[in-house]
Amino acid sequence: MFGSLLRTSMVDPERALRGRDRYAYSIPATHTVLGTPLQGPWPVGTAQLYLAMGCFWGAERAMWQLPGVVTTAAGYQGGFTPYPSYEETCTGMTGHTEAVMVAYDPEVLTHEALLRAFWTSHDPTQGFRQGNDRGTQYRSAVYFTTPEQEAAVLATRDAYAAELAKAGYGAITTEVRPASEAGTFYYAEAYHQQYLDKNPNGYCGLGGTGVACPVGLTGV
């Protein structure tokens, strides 16, 4: 509807959709696979990291399968429009990327191990696309919540970038910034939550490069 421009560049904040002041839909209380609260509360010590790697259906499934994960949720983050809908996000006029909130126990799943799964589960060099999915909402991103996570993100990114370069890939384009700067994580509509559990044969565009990440090998 808005042409190809919004598939290759971010919308300006002043042009972004206005959104609304509350959710236009209800959010499920419980994760259909893990049986844990989707919005908390979670056990003391639970960490949160926000990851985007293309379509959030496959990305969420990849994350909930990791040992030590308390819960996951699909949502929208990194843009300008408050409480966006899926349809709005897909226009490119909200600035959000399709993100997955991962709540996990860092004593079981280290930051590095989680990030190793992130880097190797998609191609972080593709800019505003992931495979055949094209648009700013499919960009790769990591929004961290603690200094320890930030250090792990930067260390794993740099180590993986070197391995990707050896394999002939270009530079990593993943957006990296604090979750506080990226803005609120807006939970997606109920039908998106744990979509591939509800629809086992549903679309999954997730695909890695086949290049191994040399860090985070423990804790997986």
Q: Which of 55, 90, 204, 213 is catalytic?
A: 55
E strand intervals along the chain: 47-53, 69-77, 97-104, 129-130, 133-134, 140-144, 175-178, 186-187
What is the DSSP pairing of strand 140-144 with strand 175-178? parallel
Burial class (CB in 10 A: 0-12, 13-18, 19+), 47: buried
* Buried-state track 124-151, b at ≥16 Cβ within 10 A, e below 16: bbbbbbbeebebbbbbbbbbbeeeebbe
204 is an active site residue: no
CA distance 149 to 47: 9
Catalytic residue set: 55
